[in-house]
Amino acid sequence: MPLLEVKDLRVHFPLRSSWFAPRRTLKAVDGVTFDLAPGEIVGLVGESGCGKSTLGRAVVRLEPPTSGQVLIDGLDLYKLSGKALQQLRGRYQMIFQDPYGSLNPRLTVFSALDEVLSMQGGLSVKERRERAEALLERVGLPPAALSRFPHQFSGGQRQRIGIARALAGSPGFIVADEPVSALDVSVQAAIVNLLEDIRNQEGTAFLFIAHDLAVVEHISDRIMVMYLGHVVESAPARELIASPRHPYTQALLSAVPSLRKSGPRIVLKGDVPSPIAPPPGCPFHPRCPRASEICRNRVPELKKSGNHLCACFLED
């Protein structure tokens, strides 16, 4: 059974308008379905504003869905409350994009970790401190860092602290929301390798959200490509990189020199449509160089062929 199951998830935000204006809705996530197996790393890629972070936040109950289900170990996350919800929360954690804003500047590193450790119960202060020291060593920081404050660390070190905090609850899976995008290139590889080591040694699964396909290809077992609130393609990482089927995925890959197999770069015309007023039919058709009449009138289904899923009429 999958560790995480997301079924037809939608996250829509109603927008304020004047008394006489028609009501408008921002469709950030619009019918996403996927699952995550124990120990699996699924990469989620797409341009800024496509709904990646909103999806990640909804999966860990930081953003209430408009409809759909999020099942963890078969339990519906949004139907639980009280003690049952508190117990299930130990199964998941989140690593945030901004290593500077995700830590309370008034708390020492030990206090930040102890907020999580103390919720587990049954541990003395000494045991919690020993556990905190072990967590810091796990992410490559010295135990002496426990007494220091966030402003005394670099961005990469702060992200390591954020990873340690996420690991403190021994979660089954972690949503990593653009965990390296705010870091220097020289630091990014170290953080990505650390997350991969955690998966290999502890069996933690990850939903790894990023816009850099080269980074995602390196760490992921499977990649999902998102556009305007929809998943338009999903496949094992090597298969998707070697043989992308959706025109949007092909354009993304062509923009990454290290992943470009052959042919010129595909330059998409125009801007991403507004999620407030998405186009009819396929959401990508206004920018697709291969769009036909059917693309302008019907929304393609995410159809499966082997291990590959693609939402494109060209695949029919």
The 10s digit of each residue's pLDDT in 263-306 is: 678 888 888 888 898 999 999 999 998 899 999 999 999 999 99
Q: 49 exposed, middle or buried (CB, 10 Å; 0-12, 13-18, 19+)?
A: middle
Measured distance CA(160)–CA(139) in Å, rounded: 6
Of 288, 287, 311, the closest CA to residue 235 belongs to 311
Report the sign of the C-alpha dihedral through residues 307, 180, 65, 84, in that order. positive
Mean pLDDT of 21-26: 83
Predicted confidence at residue 33, as pLDDT, reads 97
Strands 230-236 and 222-227: antiparallel
CB 301 within 8 A of CB 313: no
- Strand 75-76: give its sheet, edge to edge: 24-36, 4-15, 67-72, 75-76
Q: For 192-245, write each residue's pLDDT tens digit.
A: 999 999 999 999 999 999 988 888 999 999 999 999 999 999 999 999 999 999
Largest CA distance in the chain: 68
Domains of the chain, earliest start first: 4-15+23-91+171-315 (3.40.50.300)
Predicted confidence at residue 293, as pLDDT, reads 93
**Per-residue DSSP letter, 221:** S
CB 309 within 8 A of CB 303: yes
Q: What is the CA radius of gyration of the chain?
A: 21
